[in-house]
């Protein structure tokens, strides 16, 4: 047989609704804080990796420019076997300037094409509006 004291102790073991709500609120707050800390840590790790990657990409670019400069020097040296050194350097410089001019013209053309409004999609959007207008008139 249970005593009133034992029944009171059993009733204390079952939390009340306000207690459950407080516990839910506390756990939700703790969960959100923990998730925010985790997201912050993941962001820090990602930013560190991106920084390292950008640094390595920059180093690769510098090394590529140095390699290109070495190839230019080698071209001048090779041409200097048949021409005087100053003339070989001028020939290589003219070739490089010509390549730069071609690249600039192609790049300019690409930029101009990119700045033109997309004609196909504009026509498509106009057709869609016309179809919608027609369907509204038919529905009435």
- Helices in the chain by DSSP H: which ranges? 4-13, 17-79, 85-115, 119-139
What integer pLDDT is reported at residue 100 of this predicted model?
Answer: 93
Q: Which of 95, 55, 49 is nearest to 72 (CA)?
A: 95
What are 30-56's pLDDT values in tens digits? 999 999 999 999 989 989 999 999 999
Q: How does residue 103 score in pLDDT terms, banded at 50, 70 and 90?
A: very high
What integer pLDDT is reported at residue 128 of this predicted model?
Answer: 77
**Domain boundaries, given as residue ranges, for the chain:** 1-79, 84-140
Does the pLDDT value for residue 91 go beyond 90? yes
Contact indicator for 80, 88 with CB cutoff of 8 Å:
yes
Does the pLDDT value for residue 119 go beyond 60? yes
pTM: 0.50
Does the pLDDT value for residue 10 go beyond 90? no
């Amino acid at each position: 047989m249970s005593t009133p004291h034992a029944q009171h102790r059993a009733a204390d073991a079952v939390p009340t609704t306000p207690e459950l709500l407080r516990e839910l609120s506390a756990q939700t707050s703790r969960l959100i804080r923990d998730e925010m800390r985790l997201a912050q840590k993941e962001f820090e790790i990602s930013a560190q990796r991106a920084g390292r990657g950008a640094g390595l990409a920059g180093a690769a670019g510098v090394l590529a420019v140095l390699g290109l400069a070495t190839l230019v020097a080698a071209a001048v040296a090779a041409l200097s076997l048949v021409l005087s050194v100053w003339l070989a350097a001028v020939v290589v410089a003219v070739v490089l300037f010509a390549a730069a001019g071609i690249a600039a013209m192609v790049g300019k053309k690409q930029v101009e094409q990119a700045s033109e409004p997309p004609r196909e999609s504009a026509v498509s959007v106009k057709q869609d509006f016309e179809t919608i207008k027609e369907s509204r008139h038919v529905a009435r």
